[in-house]
Structure 1
Amino acid sequence: MNKLLMVLLRVCLTLIFLGGLLWQAWVVPTLAAQNATLFPEVAFLATPYTVVVIVAIACLQVSLAATWKLLSMVERRTIFTQRAFGWVNAIIASIAVATFLALSLGVHLLGIIGVGGPGVALAIAALTTCGSAFALLMLVMKGLLRRATNLEGGAAELV
């Protein structure tokens, strides 16, 4: 693989991970506190919603770490082994959990509490659609990895 490409990808993964930490530590709690002040009728939701969003971001960070591990396996030319499937499964599971959390938060806010409006509905729809699409894409990629791993194993047996 191209060394520059690997470095650029690692820089991007690091920046996204650090951005997630910033959101977990400062942005989400600050927005929750501001919204609790602006909308006292739903202030009781600030803490649980903050926790849900922080956990969802942590799920995304798990997928970033798993991607980093897979990238390391590509560099060492060990990507076509059974160990890679654990990391791919971690990505799929973490994205699925984050998507479920976003959908659950939206259903609770819009359907049960009855507040939020079209902007929240669109944001939840976008998050759910993108998260589902990414998880499904990773399932397809896992199938391709399985086929490539089987081909590599078959070629090794011939040699």
Structure 2
Amino acid sequence: MNFQQIRLLRIAVVMLALGSILTQVFITPHVARSFAEAYPEVAYLERPYTIAVIVAIAGFELALLAIWQILSIVKRGAAFTRSPMRWVNFMTTSFLFTAATLIGIIMHATFIAKIGTPAMLFGLLVTIAFGASAIFFRAAVKRGLLTRIFHDDPEHDIPAP
């Protein structure tokens, strides 16, 4: 990974972070408020669902922090340390936390509050796919780090994967 790619990935991380902060502060409360007004029979769920979604987004933001740290480690060329794998594990855990929180919200809304719609099923499927992709993303990042190590350290004469 060259410095231009790292710079572009950092720009993407910053844009995603700004979008998630915007979603936490403005969009989520506004949408929750509008749904509470439109459906007064479930208005009591406005606050807990808003808090849960904000917490889920915070998990996503923590994963973005981990990605930033991984990019910094790669840029420094310190892929030989144990630090990258700690951040990769932290990133995966954060993504899985986000997915689990969203799955919990959708399952509660569908099966306990009985407000499920076909959109809820789609949301559940997307969230499960998001959680599963975190595992595959982890494997891809690990493979990328190993490739970087092998390319940066030819003295051990280990062929790159």
Query: What interval of TM-score do these two structures reach, taking the shorter chain for normalisation?
Result: 0.7 to 0.9
Partner of 2:40: 40
TM-superposed CA distance for 1:125, in Å, is 1.3
CA distance in 1, matches of 2:49, 2:31: 11
**Is residue 80–residue 149 contact of structure 1 (8 Å, CA) maintained in 2?**
no
Partner of 1:137: 136
Q: Which amino acid aligns with 1:93?
A: T
> Any runs of at least 4 consecutive aligned residues in structure 1 with deviations exceeding 4 A, and if so which?
145-152
What TM-score does the superposition give when structure 1 sets the normalisation length?
0.87
Give the 5 Å matches for 1:17-36.
17-36=17-36
CA distance in 1, matches of 2:94, 2:107: 20
Q: Which runs of 5+ in 1 are unaligned?
A: none
What TM-score does the superposition give when structure 2 sets the normalisation length?
0.86
TM-superposed CA distance for 1:2, in Å, is 2.5
TM-superposed CA distance for 1:148, in Å, is 6.0
TM-superposed CA distance for 1:7, in Å, is 1.5
1:50-90 CA-to-partner distances (Å, cap 9, x unmatched) read: 01110111111111111011001111101232111110111
* DSSP-derived class of the 1:24 partner: helix
CA distance in 2, matches of 1:118, 1:45: 19
CA RMSD of aligned residues (A): 2.2
TM-superposed CA distance for 1:113, in Å, is 1.0
* Percent of pairs with identical residues: 29
Q: Which amino acid aligns with 1:6?
A: I
**Is residue 80–residue 145 contact of structure 1 (8 Å, CA) maintained in 2?**
no
How many residue pairs get aligned? The number is 154
Q: Which runs of 5+ in 2 are unaligned?
A: none
TM-superposed CA distance for 1:115, in Å, is 0.9
